[in-house]
C-alpha cells in the first residue's frame, strides 16, 4: 500500500511540474486535450496557405516547406519557423501568410486555452 501511495504522489508531482514547466513554452500538439482548429471558410490551414502562395515564374521545380507555428491562447499565429530548401521569396511569403491568417480556435489543456505548437508540410 505504501508503494502505491508513493507512486501516486510521484505521478501527481510530475503532472504539476509539467504544467509549471509549460507556462513559458507552448504545449506540443500531442500534450493537449484539444488541438487548435482552423475554421476559416471550411478550409484547412494547408489549403488556405497553398491557395495564397504565389510561385515565382523562375521556379522551375516543385518543392516543399516544413512549417512550425504556435497558435497562442488568443487564436493568433506566432513564432512561425520555415524549414527546407526554400527560396527567400517563398519563405517571406509564407511568413507573411502565416502572420496574417484569420484567428484559429485555440487548443485546450485542462479546460484552459493554451499556446500550442503545430507542424505541417506545404507543397509548392
Residue with the bigger pLDDT between 4 and 54: it is 54
Mean pLDDT of 79-102: 92
The pTM (predicted TM-score) of the whole model is 0.74
The radius of gyration of the chain from alpha carbons, rounded to an integer in Å, stands at: 19
**What residue ranges define each of the domains in the chain, with the CATH number in brackets?**
26-123 (3.30.1150)
61 pLDDT exceeds 90? Answer: no
Q: From the CB of residue 116, how many other CB atoms can be counted at a distance below 10 Å?
A: 25
- Per-residue pLDDT for 76 more than 50? yes
Mean pLDDT value across residues 95-109: 95
pLDDT interval class at 4 (50, 70, 90):
very low
Enclosing H/E stretch for 21: helix 2-21
How many other CB atoms sit within 10 Å of the CB of residue 18?
Answer: 12
The answer to whether 101 and 11 are in contact (CB under 8 A) is: no
Beta bridge partners of 123: 64
Cell of 77: 499565429
Closest alpha carbon to 22 in 32, 35, 13: 32
Neighbours of 39 (CB within 10 A): 13
The pLDDT score that the predictor gives to residue 18 is 39
For 99, which DSSP code? Answer: H
Amino acid at each position: 500500500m505504501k508503494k502505491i501511495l508513493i507512486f501516486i504522489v510521484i505521478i501527481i508531482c510530475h503532472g504539476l511540474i509539467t504544467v509549471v514547466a509549460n507556462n513559458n513554452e507552448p504545449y506540443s500538439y500531442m500534450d493537449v486535450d484539444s488541438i487548435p482548429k482552423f475554421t476559416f471558410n471550411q478550409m484547412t490551414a494547408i489549403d488556405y496557405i497553398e491557395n495564397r502562395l504565389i510561385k515565382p515564374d523562375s521556379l522551375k521545380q516543385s518543392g516543399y516547406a516544413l512549417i512550425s507555428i504556435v497558435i497562442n491562447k488568443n487564436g493568433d499565429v506566432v513564432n512561425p519557423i520555415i524549414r527546407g530548401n526554400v527560396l527567400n521569396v517563398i519563405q517571406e511569403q509564407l511568413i507573411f501568410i502565416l502572420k496574417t491568417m484569420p484567428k484559429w480556435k485555440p487548443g485546450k489543456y485542462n479546460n484552459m486555452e493554451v499556446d500550442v505548437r503545430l507542424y505541417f508540410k506545404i507543397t509548392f
